[in-house]
Chain A
Amino acid sequence: MKSQLSRTVRALPTLLRIGVAETVAYRAEFIVWILTTTQPLIMMSLWTSVARGGSFKGYDADAFVAYYLATLLVRQLTGNWVAWQMMEEIRMGTMAMRLLRPIHPFVTYTASQVAALPFRSIIALPLVVILLVTSASSGVTHDPMQLAMFPLSIAMAWLITFAILFAIGSLAFFLTQTMAIATLYFGLFSLFSGYLLPLDLLPTPIAKIAAVLPFRFTLSVPVEIITRTLPHGELARLLAAQVAWTVALIAFAVWLWNAGVRRFESVGT
């Protein structure tokens, strides 16, 4: 057990380097993936143009700008395409290569996706600057505690998103139509995570459902932490719930993988 752990730790720098090389090699693909997450910009324009006629349920134009910029920032930093990567590898049979390595694929996939983060930050940094210097800064919290917890919350949001997509990817061991499930996931995500609309604008019954689902913790929670001023008790409660979801979903994803991999028969040459 100990040797496996130390082996994994020793392999990490190499795995990250491979990930960086992959991202650079498929840079056109990577840029397209990044552009697909720019939907919040259009929603932002739409809602600011609506809010110009007077504030909308407590949101004025600046609040909408701050909300959607923060959404775009969190989405850029937490988005990944591990489910698609896995479906492709399972379908093409190249998964066999990955299984031969003495490290759990959860780790190798994580490394491969984490390596894209520096490139994603290139897009994310200008957003932070705009968020801080324009009038949208009035919609950003000044509480030092919340600002300090923001990166932590993003990191957990990353892990939750990754775990869910890893689980969806693992479903490819059982099903052939995994693509439809990924589409379904994105539909649920865009509604219940606050990607489409701030959760407090949703009709009450839907907002109630959103409160108990994990999607909220992949996007809305970090966005709320940076754009609202929350009592510290509330902040602690949100972060604790995020930790719980992170642990539970990673455990579930790894369990699903381990159950599925036994059914894997390599295809290809």
Chain B
Amino acid sequence: MRKYLRLAAIQLRISLASAMAYRANFLIEGVMATASLGLTLLPLIVLYGVRADVNGWDLPSALVVMAYFTGLRAVLEGLISPSLVDLVERIRSGSFDYVLLKPVDAQAMVSASRYEPWKVFDLLGAIALLIYAFYKRGSAPSPAEIGLGMGLFVAGALAMYALWIVCAAASFWVGRLDNLMYLLGAIFDTGRWPVMVLPGAWRFIFTFVIPIAVMTTFPAMALLGTLKATTALATIGGTFALLVVSRLVWRAAIRSYTSASS
């Protein structure tokens, strides 16, 4: 375990060093983070500019969902997707062989292979949004709600990681599927809306088939204090199930790996 923590720390340091090498990106990323936050908020502003309430969701509670979405997207773009894009590239070029040769678990090795440290701006934006939403709502969440809200954020990030790993494992079989990540990203975009705002069929799909709601809506409800205890437990259980499935898929994928190098 210590070995893996040290490995993750080393890889983080390498990523930080290369991020520092492109210091100008600091400014670009800051501007991009602000712009993309504004872009995400716009439909919400348009919608709640006319309506006060959509299917039981008012502006502050929708903003909390948006904050969770922004935070998770930061984790996705800062941590998960750079590593997995890296993996797809290695599988294609054949240099994945060297990863397999190393005396550590390959999944742990690739899952933390690259970070985009500047995405921390998006995370800060998400926190600012949360604070604003609760200020607008006029009531702060209780410590228990904060605890559960943070716990479910971690669960959401893990569930997302599991989905993306399954997707990356697919590239062992299909080879050229880098754009599967784009697709997942596009689907994940729906997470910015409280799932209850969507019609029934979508609600079902995004809860049980592609559990985007589990990642953003439910944690937000936990923080708002409207989530039932059973749903919270089911969310955590579902996350574990996803992690186990993704691990199994990954192992099966590794077994069928045939090197692309010559």
Which residues of A are in contact with B by a Cβ distance under 8 Å?
26, 28-29, 32-33, 35-36, 38-39, 42, 45-46, 48-50, 53, 56-57, 177, 180, 184, 187, 190-191, 196-197, 201-203, 206
Contacts and interface: CB of A to CB of B under 8 A. Distances in A.
Given A39-B186, A177-B25, A191-B39, 5 more contacts: A32-B183, A49-B55, A50-B51, A56-B50, A187-B35
Nearest to B193: A46
Interface stretch (B5-13, B149-157, B173-181, B238-246): B173-181
A39 B192 CA distance: 13
A33 B178 CA distance: 10
B204 interface: no
Nearest to B54: A50
Interface in B175-219: 176-177, 179-180, 182-183, 186, 189-190, 193, 197-199, 202
A39 B191 CA distance: 12
B47 interface: yes
B182 A32 contact: yes
Contact of B45 (A180, A190, A203): A203
14 contacts: A28-B176, A35-B183, A36-B183, A36-B186, A38-B186, A42-B190, A42-B202, A45-B198, A49-B54, A49-B198, A49-B199, A180-B32, A191-B42, A197-B42
B32 A184 contact: yes
Nearest to B201: A45
Interface of B: 25, 28, 32, 35-36, 39, 42-43, 45-47, 49-51, 54-55, 174, 176-177, 179-180, 182-183, 186, 189-190, 193, 197-199, 202
B171 to A, nearest CB: 11
10 smallest beta-carbon distances between A and B, as pairs: A36-B186, A32-B179, A36-B183, A45-B199, A32-B183, A49-B199, A36-B182, A42-B190, A201-B46, A35-B183
A180 B176 CA distance: 21
A202 B42 contact: yes
A49 B179 contact: no
A42 B47 contact: no
B179 A33 contact: yes
Contacts, number: 70
A26 B197 contact: no
Contacts of B28: 180
Contacts of A32: 177, 179-180, 182-183
B235 to A, nearest CB: 22
B186 A197 contact: no
Contacts of B189: 39
A46 B190 CA distance: 10
Contacts of A191: 39, 42
B177 A187 contact: no
Contact of A197 (B25, B43, B54, B199): B43
Contacts of A45: 198-199, 202
B39 A187 contact: yes
Nearest to B31: A184
B175 to A, nearest CB: 9
A66 B10 CA distance: 53
Q: Choose among A32, A36, A187 the residue with the greatest number of B CB atoms under 10 Å from its CB.
A: A32
A42 B199 CA distance: 10
B183 A53 contact: no
Nearest to A187: B39
A35 B210 CA distance: 15
Contacts of A201: 46
Contacts of A33: 179, 182
B88 to A, nearest CB: 12
